[in-house]
Chains A and B, each alone.
Chain A
Amino acid sequence: MKKKDIILAGVGGQGILSIAATIGYAAVQSGLYLKQAEVHGMSQRGGDVQSHLRLSENEVASDLIPKGKADMILSVEPMESLRYLPYLHKEGWLITNSKPFINIPNYPEENLIFDEIKKIENHVLLDAETIAKDLGTSKAANMVILGAAFPFLDLEFEKFEEALKFIFGKKGQDLVNLNTKALKAGRQITENKLDKR
């Protein structure tokens, strides 16, 4: 692996920084360099938020990913995944939750959003809430989404398990297990899709 540039997208309050923290921990444990630009302040109040997460074997220069160079858009909200298309590399992957977060009056029709997502050849569109709910709690939805990104991250799965232990360990083994299961469920979805190709 040379580098992975990831745009994390969502709405303020949806917890994209917990995904960033998990990847970040796994990356640092794998001996990689990292820079991660976050959005703090006013936009966190229900506005669109994004984080530029850059992993590399070599030291990272810019805190921001150049347009057209991102390897992946990882989004917890379908419309938000589209907002960052100018950043995505032609061969990059768009991985997004399908459940809309509607807090504006002019939110577009769901199916039209899905049509746009499907125009991107490399995409994974998944209903993370339902998958997480089946496992026990919809709160693990973000970990399902992260799991779906796993096959493209070139990191060892054990490093993610360690990250979950580190992040959720204080809150009990049950939560670690649940999130690990969620991670595996997301991973399965992408692997199935790749097998079909």
Chain B
Amino acid sequence: MKTVIHDLGKEQNEKILASTDRVVCADGRYAPCQGCFKCWTKHPASCAMKDVLHQACRVLGTSDDLTIITENRYGSYSQAVKNILDRSIATSTPFSTYRKGQMHHTLRYGKRNRLHLIVYGSLTDAEKNTWQLMAERNAINMGFREYSITFCADAEEAGRTA
């Protein structure tokens, strides 16, 4: 299953769907993670908050190929996108293991294929370097075999790249 998460606005959904199986529009109309870990310990793979991100981890976990389109924020994701990632930690389980020589959580959905980040907006060289590290760390953390990153000048170019 191929999934695209984007913060380009709902009007881009149909266009992006031409090249993927499903689209998640990060519109920011949901709360940030509260750090309760109940998606691990109380009701597995479901968030305690019953808004549209209630089952976000299931969507991400069942995506063999995941593309994330995000505006740059200091070398990290936009808030709308980062909310989704923070509230999807149950793509892994509470158990721990080693990946690439470091401690990580075991993967609820097993290893997945590819993580592709498309980052748009104003970017400094330092922020591009941070993004390279972020992509690498996210791929290890989320259990993707491969990762890649594309930088775009603006949202329009990012939409075309997807």
Q: Do A and B come from one complex?
A: no
